[in-house]
């Protein structure tokens, strides 16, 4: 390696890298802010404008866009040597580039005229040129990879497979960069543009998909997607789906809460003064379904709770934190996956369908709870209604949820008929339903679901409202002395 071109916005590690190159006799070509940083550090380099014979111009918009730069990156050794020699083009063996921070600036609220100045042109052009010629040029776009350079120089140069891996990373970076610009510009006029570009990172192969005959991977740079176990087996495809569902519901609660999910539906939810009590109560909602489940807790797990969790077969336990003693106890369950509760990431929801994808955005909204029956809900009933409604929001449609003020009592999920969902919730309930509250994810088209709930002992019900037969349902609630609330918001979950 004889010649390296360094041009970076993020100066992290660049002085150390340049020093390493210079100490090994590698010539450095640089410009702009990078060159000034090298000069300050006393590291010798050749200014790009001196090498090309053209000055930086247009406030730095044009500095590396020159045949002597791109020829040095694109020239094929052993093929283009005579052309390069004829035009005084030196082969560039190492390219170190990172880009103007468009993604970061796009989130800062800057106007379009100011933001366009953060659209890098020369950087992506050089990255693509060097990566195209990866057999002869090593391209580094990530400061985390700088440590490879010294090792490669000391061992005779980058291996072919290393250069190919760096080229993959380089093209992924320019693709993500262009995607960010495209989405921003399209998004100026339309939340859902004609072209919607997604770049997913940190891809990891999974053992298999939903079933052993299917192949799968997980991608993502944050939230549930980026989580790996602190201990235990690797996460599976279904584990990630269930953990996503569990974390989504758990984030509805500020007080100590436990959520237990099986097959993408909650099978136990409870709150309590202490997280231990919340977990035990959630598990006992449906202990059969809790076998082989995913558990999410919003408080630290200590030794006592760890022992309790280990008393049941749990696939995944995710919590705010774990004491060292709790981790030691849970390590006895070698297959149980133990994960830290990730912060939410948010963003649009994307789901694939045959030939494409559905993209869904949930803007800020407010429910409008309104009592529409003769009788108001009591304070205890309101607590139960709010709990049931939170769980209803995260359960597959059609769904009916029975709850008291602290925990779920019965869950009827994913039924084609709302009446059947109510019957299943009642049938699965292991606790008396007298005095319970009920939530329905969508309006009740007929009074029958309410009547079934009342017969089981429920005294209050919450639903979106909006049916053409609302008055029939309200009349039935009044006849049965039930308090009923309309929220104005439907929570289908398909």
- Among residues 336, 335, 296, 346, the alpha carbon closest in space to that of 319 is found at 296
- Among residues 261, 205, 269, 267, the alpha carbon closest in space to that of 237 is found at 205
Active-site option among 169, 233, 244, 263: 263
Cα dihedral across residues 50, 54, 55, 58: positive or negative: negative
Torsion of CA 45, 47, 50, 56, to 10 degrees: 180
Question: Which residues on adjacent β-strands are paired with residue 360?
Answer: 349
Contact 226, 202 (CB under 8 A): yes
Question: Which residues on adjacent β-strands are paired with residue 94?
Answer: 4, 138
H/E stretch holding 36 reads: helix 32-40
SS3 84: helix
- Residue 66 annotated as catalytic: no
DSSP 468: T
- Among residues 299, 246, 269, the alpha carbon closest in space to that of 404 is found at 269
Active-site option among 132, 169, 233, 244: 132
- Residue 263 annotated as catalytic: yes
Question: Which residues on adjacent β-strands are paired with residue 460?
Answer: 437, 483
DSSP 221: S
Contact 380, 459 (CB under 8 A): no
Supply the residues annotated as catalytic.
132, 263
């Amino acid at each position: 390696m004889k010649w390296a071109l360094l041009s970076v916005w993020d100066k992290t590690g660049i002085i150390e890298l340049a020093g390493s190159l210079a100490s090994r006799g590698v010539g450095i070509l640089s410009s702009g802010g990078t060159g000034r940083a090298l000069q300050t550090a006393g590291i010798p380099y050749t200014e790009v404008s001196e090498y090309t014979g053209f000055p930086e111009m247009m406030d730095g918009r044009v500095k590396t866009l020159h045949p002597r730069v791109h020829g040095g990156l694109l020239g094929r050794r052993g093929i283009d040597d005579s052309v390069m020699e004829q035009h005084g083009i030196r082969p560039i063996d190492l390219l170190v580039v990172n880009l103007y921070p468009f993604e970061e600036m796009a989130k800062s609220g800057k106007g379009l005229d100011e933001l366009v100045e953060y659209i890098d042109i020369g950087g992506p052009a050089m990255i693509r040129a060097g990566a195209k010629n990866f057999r002869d040029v090593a391209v580094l776009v990530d400061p985390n990879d700088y440590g490879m350079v010294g090792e490669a120089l000391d061992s005779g140069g980058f291996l072919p497979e290393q250069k190919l891996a760096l080229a993959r990373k380089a093209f992924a970076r320019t693709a993500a960069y262009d995607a960010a610009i495209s989405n921003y510009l399209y998004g100026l006029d339309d939340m859902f543009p004609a072209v919607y570009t997604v770049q997913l990172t940190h891809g990891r192969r999974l053992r298999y998909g939903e079933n052993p005959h299917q192949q799968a991977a997980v991608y993502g740079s944050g939230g549930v997607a980026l989580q790996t176990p602190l201990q235990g087996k690797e996460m599976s495809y279904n584990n990630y789906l269930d953990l996503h569902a569990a974390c989504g519901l758990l984030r509805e609660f500020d007080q100590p809460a436990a959520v237990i999910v099986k097959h993408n539906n909650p099978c136990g939810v409870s709150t309590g003064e202490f997280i231990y009590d919340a977990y035990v109560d959630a598990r006992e909602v449906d202990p059969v379904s809790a076998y082989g489940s995913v558990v999410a807790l919003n408080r630290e797990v200590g030794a006592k709770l760890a022992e309790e969790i280990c008393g049941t077969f749990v696939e995944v336990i995710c919590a705010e934190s774990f004491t060292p003693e709790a981790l030691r106890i849970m390590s006895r369950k070698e297959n149980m996956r133990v994960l830290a509760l990730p912060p939410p990431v948010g963003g649009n929801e994307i789901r694939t369908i045959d030939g494409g994808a559905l993209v869904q955005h949930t803007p800020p909204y407010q429910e409008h709870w309104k009592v529409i029956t003769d009788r108001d809900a009591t304070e205890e009933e309101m607590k139960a209604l709010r709990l049931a409604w939170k769980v209803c929001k995260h359960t597959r449609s059609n769904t009916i949820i029975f709850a008291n003020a602290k925990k779920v009592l019965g869950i009827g999920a994913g039924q084609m008929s709302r009446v059947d969902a109510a019957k299943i919730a009642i049938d699965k309930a292991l606790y008396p339903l007298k005095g319970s509250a009920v939530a329905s994810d969508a309006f009740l088209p007929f009074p029958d679901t309410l009547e079934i709930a009342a017969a089981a002992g429920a005294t209050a019900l919450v639903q979106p409202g909006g049916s053409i037969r609302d008055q029939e349902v309200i009349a039935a609630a009044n006849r049965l002395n039930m308090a009923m609330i309309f929220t104005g918001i439907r929570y289908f979950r398909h």
